Amino acid sequence: MYANTIEQLSLQTNIVEDKTNLVFKELHNYYITNFGLEHGVLKYSKLLQLTNDLNDIHNRLQEAYTIGKLFDPTLLCVWNDAI
């Protein structure tokens, strides 16, 4: 049972990775085509940095939320109401 679940997760992870690579490849080509090599690469790298920063912020918020739930179980209700 565990092996089947891991195999399904691995398959889904591969699909997501393939689609992500496809999107980033097309986005890279768009920036290079429309802005030229020098400016396109700069804009693309800024976009990737922004994506990384947003993921970092999300991870920090998720960590703070998880720690907060340990000390205040009502925190879950507040966050669910906000969503």
pLDDT in tens, 6-27: 566 666 777 878 888 898 899 8
- Burial class (CB within 10 angstroms; exposed 0-12, middle 13-18, buried 19+) of 58: exposed
Query: What is the C-alpha separation between 6 and 3, in angstroms, rounded?
Result: 5
Which alpha helices (H) appear in the chain, and where do they start and end? 2-71, 75-82
pTM over 0.85: no
Structural domain boundaries enclosing 62:
2-82
> Residues 15-68: pLDDT tens digits?
878 888 898 899 888 988 998 888 888 888 898 899 899 999 989 988 888 887
Give the count of domains, the chain. Answer: 1
Comparing 45 with 76, which gets the higher pLDDT? 45
Query: What is the C-alpha separation between 40 and 31, in angstroms, rounded?
Result: 5
